[in-house]
Structure 1
Amino acid sequence: MSYKQWFDAHAAKHAAIMEKLTRLSDDEVIEYFRFENMVKNEPDFCPLYAENKKCHDTEELNCYLCACPNFRFSDAGFAVEERKILFSTCSIESPDGDRYVSESAIHQNCAGCIVPHRESYIKKVFDRDWLKIMKEVPSE
């Protein structure tokens, strides 16, 4: 599955959940996306939910900005670095991010970064139209 295919499928899941939450306030929507609630009420949102497993090692995890707005990807690649294709990167160059480098590719590794999963960050960039957030986000 390409980055774009995953992103489009994820956007559709996110939109379906938001459609159910129209009666909630913005703060209540953000609270709804807390990991513990999502595992219980939206088990198909993430494949890790079936194992009650988090994508990031943090006590408080909010899944509203799964598909980080700072993650940039290109299925065709952005550039070639040392004969490897750069497929993804972090637009804020988070010091907690890393790179996964294979023989032919470079991918952003976001496992150590929790920036988009903190509710304070989500509240700062929140929009009920999740795709608007994905286009342009101020750095934290």
Structure 2
Amino acid sequence: MSYISWFNKHGNKHKVIVEKLQAKGLSKEEIVDYFDFDNMVKSESDFCYLYAEKKKCHDVKHLNCYLCACPLFRFNSNGIEKIGEKTAFSYCEVNSKFGHQGIFGDAIHQDCSRCTVPHSKKYVLKNYDENWFSIMASCDVENE
């Protein structure tokens, strides 16, 4: 699955959940709390393929799944730049010390597996928008 396919599919799943919670009258903080990993595994098992195994994408005690991606992640499904014989498809906007560029065959992808920043409740509340696509608007660099 390409980055843009995942991005659009995930954003639409996120929208459905948020609209459901808003219809119930939940506040911003209650919506963010709902996206706690333990709750999401029980309540929204189709939101993430890792939920079937109750597996977290990051090893943190209180993982919040509201963003399920980072607003600082940049991608282009067609490639961003050639580096020698390889093509880079993604990178971190702030070059986080917790991430690195991974080489997978002829492709270079940003590996954010050691970065937990976007998965804390504090970060989510600071960057909160009911529209996931608004928070993530700068991620797809295809049209820059």
TM-score in terms of structure 2 length: 0.91
Partner of 1:58: 60
TM-score in terms of structure 1 length: 0.94
* Counterparts in 2 of 1:127 and 1:109: CA distance versus 1, 3 Å: same
Q: CA deviation at 1:103?
A: 3.3
Which of the numbers 31, 35, 39 marks the counterpart of 1:33? 35
CA distance in 2: counterparts of 1:101 and 1:16, whole angstroms: 35
Deviating above 6 A after TM superposition, structure 1's stretches of 4 or more consecutive aligned residues are none
Q: CA deviation at 1:59?
A: 0.9
Does 1:106 find its partner at 2:126?
no
Does 1:84 find its partner at 2:117?
no
CA distance in 1: counterparts of 2:83 and 2:63, whole angstroms: 33
What SS class does the counterpart of residue 27 from structure 1 fall into? helix
Q: CA deviation at 1:65?
A: 0.6
CA distance in 2: counterparts of 1:77 and 1:102, whole angstroms: 14
Q: What residue ranges of structure 1 are gaps of 5+ in the alignment?
A: none
Identical positions, percent: 50
Q: CA deviation at 1:79?
A: 0.5
Question: Aligned-pair RMSD on alpha carbons?
Answer: 1.2
CA distance in 2: counterparts of 1:3 and 1:107, whole angstroms: 11
Partner of 1:69: 71
For each residue in 1:93-136, what CA deviation from the matched residue of structure 2 results, as whole angstroms up to 9, or x when unmatched? 11101221133110000100001001111111101111111125
CA distance in 2: counterparts of 1:136 and 1:108, whole angstroms: 16
